[in-house]
Amino acid sequence: MKDDEQGFSTRAVHAGRGFSENTGAVMPPVFLTSTFEAGNPEGFDYTRSGNPNFRLLDRTLAALEGAAHATCFASGVSAITAVVSTLKIGDVVFAEENVYGCTYRLFDKVFAKFGVRVIYADLSDPANWAKIAEVRPALVWLESPTNPLLKVVDIAGISAVAAAVQSPVLVDGTFATPYLQQPLALGATLCLHSTTKYINGHSDCLSGAVITNDAAWQAKMIFAQKALGLQPSPFDAWLTARGARTLALRMEQHSRTALALAGWIEGRPGVRFVRYPFLASHPQVELAKRQMRAGSGLIVLELDCDADAALAVCRRLKLFTLAESLGGVESLVCHPATMTHASVPRAVREQVGIGDGLIRLSVGIEDAEDLQADLAEALNGLTSRKG
Ligand SMILES: Cc1ncc(COP(=O)(O)O)c(C=O)c1O
């Protein structure tokens, strides 16, 4: 059987093996070395520009996306920095208006100083894609599903429009993972992940990656890793590769439990709305089902209350820890307005729909009944303004 004919989980467990080891170790060692003897057969020289643990992780991630290349980075934000660092003064990025708060901050507070301009639009509405032909952006930047509103953007549709004017499309697929969604197969040029999240899956390190079939983009990513010092530590690359092996199992469980909980939360007193990509009430549910294998583990809900009351609900939860981040085996809850998206100005936040009553659940792999009981208790204490 050829490697590319193997199933997702076989690739997750076996891709990238073959590290130079004579010990018979079934699992790869951690190559804790900053430098390598010149002239070694694998061509390594210095860990900022390559390490056997990076190579193994890169090969695993490329195999999972069905792609030719992957480059790992120190974090998702490092991966974003690597891509945006390829732009030059005067370049325009056409971006989804609901992107991760730190992506917005990087554009707004760092790359704006270097003359990179970002135009935001609601990319879940195809009517707004006409701007692509008009602006011919150096990059089209989207997340799908988006953080935190779980909007779903038509990757194939927007990629076709962008291809007509040679604008590369980057999809931040962190929420979906390669198990649930394959942006490159849908026509995107670059797929980016904060592998800190589901791909690692155990909340024990930070890492990121950019995956592509385009050799020129790959060369730029390798250059950025080395020239900007954006590489992960070998141990973090090892942890991420270890987590990736169980990605399919975890995503099935996250998605199954999240779908059940989202349906249960919907219509409860004090809940204004619930968004989950595979819920019948999601505005892009048909697209989500075409584009994704399942809905992933994130649920967003808006409570009929102010920020303090929303935070109080979060704090009453016992199995969902109030914390930044998502995608681990443990359930987390976050209040985007004061946490992940606190760096987005209030007016911008409110305009895109991140209100004070919004909370985001990252559903872990605990038993669904226990998570539901925890949510029931926390929501029962909610004093709805409608009372
Ligand atoms: C969609 C998305 N992209 C990128 C990042 C940044 O990743 P990291 O925290 O690994 O730098 C995050 C972090 O939450 C995210 O949610």
Q: Which atom of ligand 1 is nearest to the CA of 195?
A: 10
342 CA to centre of ligand 1 in angstroms: 14
Q: Which atom of ligand 1 is nearest to the CA of 146?
A: 1
Q: Residue 77: CB within 6 Å of ligand 1?
A: yes
pLDDT at 383 > cutoff 70: no
Q: Nearest Cα to 28, choosing from 240, 221, 180?
A: 240
Q: Residue 236: CB within 6 Å of ligand 1?
A: no
Give the pLDDT band (50/70/90) at residue 348.
Answer: confident
Percent of the chain predicted with pLDDT > 70: 98
Percent of the chain predicted with pLDDT > 90: 89
Q: Residue 145: CB within 6 Å of ligand 1?
A: no
pLDDT of residue 387: 38
C-alpha–C-alpha distance, residues 145 and 359, integer Å: 16
pLDDT of residue 144: 98
Q: Residue 140: CB within 6 Å of ligand 1?
A: no
User: Which residues in 225-253 are b (16+ Cβ under 10 Å) and which e?
Assistant: bbeeebbbbbebbbbbbbbbbbbbebbeb
pLDDT of residue 385: 44
Report which protein residue has its CA nearest ligand 1's atom 16.
100
**For residues 333-362, average pLDDT:** 91
pLDDT at 121 > cutoff 60: yes
Q: Which helix (H) or strand (E) holds 13?
A: helix 8-14
pLDDT of residue 386: 42
**For residues 305-312, average pLDDT:** 95
Tens digit of each residue's pLDDT (9 = 90 or more) over 139-171: 999 999 999 999 999 999 999 999 999 999 999
pLDDT, mean over the chain: 95
**For residues 312-320, average pLDDT:** 97
- Choose the weakest-confidence range: 14-18, 58-62, 266-270, 331-335: 14-18
26 CA to centre of ligand 1 in angstroms: 31
252 CA to centre of ligand 1 in angstroms: 21
194 CA to centre of ligand 1 in angstroms: 5
Q: Residue 76: CB within 6 Å of ligand 1?
A: yes
Tokens of 8: 């997702």
The radius of gyration of the chain from alpha carbons, rounded to an integer in Å, stands at 21
Top mutation candidate among 144, 170, 174 for ligand 1, by most atoms within 8 Å of CB: 174
Tens digit of each residue's pLDDT (9 = 90 or more) over 73-111: 999 999 999 999 999 999 999 999 999 999 999 999 999
Ordered by where they begin, the domains of the chain are 3-244 (3.40.640.10), 248-380 (3.90.1150.10)
Catalytic residues: 48, 100, 172, 197
Q: What are phi and psi of 380, to 5 degrees?
A: -60, -30
Give the pLDDT band (50/70/90) at residue 180.
Answer: very high
Q: Residue 330's CB: how many other CB atoms inside 10 A?
A: 14
Q: Residue 147: CB within 6 Å of ligand 1?
A: yes
